[in-house]
């Protein structure tokens, strides 16, 4: 525990979450990389920004292969988002798990597009692409009239299981197919980041609004990826809060 304390990189969980949000606005991460980063963050709350997880343990938690997790950790390290410190236990006579340290965004040097754009290696060819395809925003009407969500679109999305509240929030900006794809991301993210949370609609709606706002100020390179990152952060925070409430209740 003392070893973890000396690597603590943030004063609060809110600071850590804010730094991760800044990274997400700068870098286009794969879905596996988002998931690994947020899972590390969810285990980095006692000594904020620091966790001690073996690769296999992390793979089991995020339901990815060990190889995929190793690639994700390598990528996050190369970007400077995390630092991995090899821990040594002389009593047991060998190396143990790496300590994962999430670096504050303020101390981070953003890579140039040339530095960030690396040629994919052969070992990455078997990985499923993080995003199915690019989401295109609807064009704003020239007369600036308030957008009225077509009832047919809402009924169609409702029929395939998309909550009405989410559809109403997203349809002014995205077509039906894109809204459905975003909702599928919500379901997937909820299983990974907030398995104990019953209602995810409110968080999903706020994530759409935050992503649209960020896109309007030109901070978003990939809308689907940015949305997933915001969503993962909010779900992870809600999951931590839920666990804390349960712990306090049991005490």
% pLDDT > 90, the chain: 23
Do 162 and 194 share a structural domain? yes
Q: Does 79 lie in the same domain as 135?
A: no
Tokens linked to 46: 């006692």
For the chain, first and last CA: distance in Å?
A: 23
Looking at the domain assignment, is residue 75 inside a domain? yes
The answer to whether residues 158 and 196 belong to one domain is yes
Reported as a single tens digit per residue, the pLDDT across 146-202 is 455 567 788 888 888 999 999 999 999 888 888 998 999 999 889 888 888 889 999
What's the pLDDT score for residue 1?
Answer: 63
Same domain (yes/no): 72, 143:
no
Q: 90, 121, 152: which is the final residue of a domain?
A: 121
- Per the structure block, which two tokens stand in for 38? 């947020």
Q: Is the domain of 107 the same as that of 21?
A: yes
Same domain for 74 and 176? no
48 in the same domain as 162 = no
Q: Residue 153: inside a domain, yes or no? A: yes
- Looking at the structure of the chain, the number of domains it has is 2
Q: Would you state the pLDDT for residue 138?
A: 65
3-state secondary structure of 171: coil
One domain for residues 92 and 190: no
CB atoms near residue 245 (< 10 Å): 10
pLDDT in tens, 106-147: 776 554 444 444 443 333 333 333 443 456 666 554 444 445
Q: pLDDT grade, residue 86 (50/70/90)? A: confident
Please say which residue of 102, 121, 140 terminates a domain.
Answer: 121
Identify the pLDDT of residue 14.
Answer: 85
Query: Are residues 169 and 214 located together in one domain of the fold?
Result: yes
> Same structural domain for residues 77 and 150?
no
> CB of 69 within 8 A of CB of 59?
yes
126 assigned to some structural domain? no
Q: Read off the pTM.
A: 0.54
pLDDT attached to residue 142:
47
Structure tokens given for 73: 């950790």
- pLDDT higher than threshold 50 for residue 225: yes
Residue 221 neighbours by CB under 8 Å, 6+ apart: 28
pLDDT of residue 108: 61
Determine the average pLDDT of the residues in 70-90. 85
Q: Supply the range of the domain harboring residue 201.
A: 131-251
Structural domain ending residue among the three candidates 93, 121, 149: 121
Q: Identify whether residues 224 and 206 lie together within a single domain.
A: yes
CATH number at residue 22: 1.10.10.10
Question: Does a structural domain hold residue 164?
Answer: yes
Per the CB < 8 A criterion, the answer to whether 53 and 43 are in contact is yes
- Residues 213-231 have a mean pLDDT of 84
Q: Which range, of 1-5, 51-55, 93-97, averages the lowest pLDDT?
A: 93-97
Q: By the 8 A CB rule, do 154 and 164 touch?
A: yes
Query: Would 138 be classed as within a structural domain?
Result: yes
Q: Single out the residue of 96, 88, 2, 17 nearest to residue 49, CA to CA.
A: 17
Residues 116 and 232 grouped into a single domain: no
- Residue 10 forms part of a structural domain: yes
Which tops the pLDDT comparison, 134 or 210? 210
Residue 88 in this model has a pLDDT that exceeds 70: no
């Amino acid at each position: 525990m003392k070893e973890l304390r000396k690597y603590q990189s943030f004063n609060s969980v809110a600071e850590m979450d804010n730094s991760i949000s800044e990274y997400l606005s700068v870098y286009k991460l794969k879905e596996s990389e988002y998931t690994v980063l947020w899972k590390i963050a969810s285990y980095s709350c006692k000594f904020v920004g620091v966790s001690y997880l073996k690769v296999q343990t992390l793979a089991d938690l995020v339901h990815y292969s060990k190889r995929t997790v190793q690639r994700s950790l390598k990528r996050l390290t190369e970007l400077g988002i995390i630092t991995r410190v090899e821990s040594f236990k002389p009593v047991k006579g060998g190396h143990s798990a790496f300590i994962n340290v999430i670096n504050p965004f303020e101390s981070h040097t953003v890579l140039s597009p040339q530095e960030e754009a690396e040629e994919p290696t052969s070992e990455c060819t078997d990985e499923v692409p993080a995003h199915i395809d690019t989401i295109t925003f609807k064009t704003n009407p020239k007369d600036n009239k308030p957008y009225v969500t077509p009832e047919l679109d809402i009924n169609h999305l409702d029929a395939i299981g998309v909550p009405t509240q989410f559809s109403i929030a997203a349809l002014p900006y995205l077509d039906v197919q894109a809204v459905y794809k975003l909702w599928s991301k919500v379901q997937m993210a909820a299983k990974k980041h907030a398995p104990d949370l019953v209602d995810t609609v409110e968080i999903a709606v706020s994530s759409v609004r935050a992503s649209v706002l960020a896109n309007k100020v030109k901070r978003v390179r990939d809308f689907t990826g940015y949305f997933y990152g915001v969503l993962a952060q909010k779900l992870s925070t809600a999951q931590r809060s839920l666990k804390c409430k349960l712990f306090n209740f049991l005490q």
